[in-house]
Amino acid sequence: MSRRLEINEVSPRDGLQMERNNVPTESKIAFIDALSACGFARIEVTSYTSPKAIPTLADAEAVMAGIERVAGVKYTALVPNLRGMERAVAGRPDEINLVMSASETHNRANLRMTRAQSLATLKEVMRAAEGADLPCNVSLSTAFGCPFDGEVDPQEVIALARALADAGAAGITVCDTTGMAYPTQVASLCEQLQQAVPGVPLTIHLHNTRGMGLANALAAFNAGIDRFDGASGGLGGCPYAPGASGNVSTEELVHMFDAIGCRTGVGLDALLAVVGSMSDLVGRPVSSQLAQAGPRLRRFAPPSWLAEKFPQ
């Protein structure tokens, strides 16, 4: 039986948070509506963060209210604190994605809290979300390395995952925020986490900053992970992580998993059409190796002289 995978499209949040040009609210809504037709399990629509921290997503309320929700797609939003959770309750995403870092310095730089403060905050958010019937996934940033602190001890990631699972996390996403992960490290941490928090679905979130994105995705897949974040066109990056660049591109993830016989539910042609519209969306060229080359069975007309030289 081929494995069924869940693809979570994060470009409207992880992608647009990093773009320099202002993307109008109506264009974001049209973009998310086009993504909704592609067959994703989840779409991360926006973030309920401080508009001072992430000005490009200050229109979170309008975007969440403006999109057309398609049955079968879960619409999520990133939340860093209680204020964000209150905004989410009003906007009614299907799930929220809480965030903290596995490393101390990135947590302080990104969220202006210590890890201990973030953990306490997220526990409080999860308690409040239970009352509001809002499932909470938690993303652990910098789980494979931190641009400030360097190596991150896997035992610290595991301890945080356990604490979050005990506090009621509906899922945990392990994030390679600045593309520091490598395949054997990914396999090892994914295996350990599955043992540490059995029954809590794990997602892997990869950035392709050093060209190891797909290799890391395959390592996670081989270690048993079946939920993947991706950003169409390879958009993305954390503005508070020096050297951050785009996520692994969703179209390349889907193309790879199609090739090895997995079922992602995502229509590659529809997705590539959306990627083709993204340069206009963000006002700069957006592409990926796959978007340029086309799927592996793309066929070209043979040179015109062949028929003359080889008539049969």
Which residues does the annotation mark as catalytic?
238
110 binds ligand COA (CB under 6 A): yes
Least Å distance between CB 225 and ligand COA? Answer: 20
- Measured from the CB atom, the residue of 8 and 47 that comes closer to ligand COA is 47
List of residues 6+ apart from 210 with CB closer than 8 A: 179, 180
Least Å distance between CB 17 and ligand COA? Answer: 6
Which of ligand COA, Zn ion, none does 110 bind, CB closer than 5 to 8 A by kind?
ligand COA
Q: Tell me the number of residues near ligand COA by CB under 6 A.
A: 20
Q: Are 278 and 232 in contact (CB under 8 A)?
A: yes
DSSP string, 186-244: HHHHHHHHHHHSTTS-EEEEEB-TTS-HHHHHHHHHHTT--EEEEBGGG----TTSTT-
Distance of CA 33 to the CA centre of its chain: 17
Closest Cα partner for 169 from 79, 92, 240? 79
178 binds ligand COA (CB under 6 A): no
Contact with ligand COA (CB under 6 A) among 23, 38, 111, 253: 111
List of residues 6+ apart from 41 with CB closer than 8 A: 6, 7, 8, 73, 74, 227, 265
Token pair of 47 as six digits: 């973030």
Contact with ligand COA (CB under 6 A) among 88, 146, 167, 238: 238
Site for Zn ion in 8-67 (CB under 5 A): 14
For 26, 45, 84, 94, 118, the CA distances from 17, given in Å and listed in that order, are 16, 11, 16, 21, 21
For 49, 64, 106, 301, the CA distances from 125, given in Å and listed in that order, are 14, 20, 21, 58
Site for ligand COA in 117-156 (CB under 6 A): 141
- Measured from the CB atom, the residue of 31 and 240 that comes closer to ligand COA is 240
Contact with ligand COA (CB under 6 A) among 8, 36, 56, 81: 81
- Measured from the CB atom, the residue of 122 and 286 that comes closer to ligand COA is 122
Contact with ligand COA (CB under 6 A) among 30, 53, 163, 262: 53
83 binds ligand COA (CB under 6 A): yes
Distance of CA 308 to the CA centre of its chain: 51
- Number of residue whose CB is nearest Zn ion: 14
Catalog residues that contact Zn ion under the rule CB under 5 A: 14
Contacting positions for ligand COA (CB under 6 A): 17, 47-50, 52-54, 80-81, 83-84, 87, 99, 110-112, 141, 238, 240
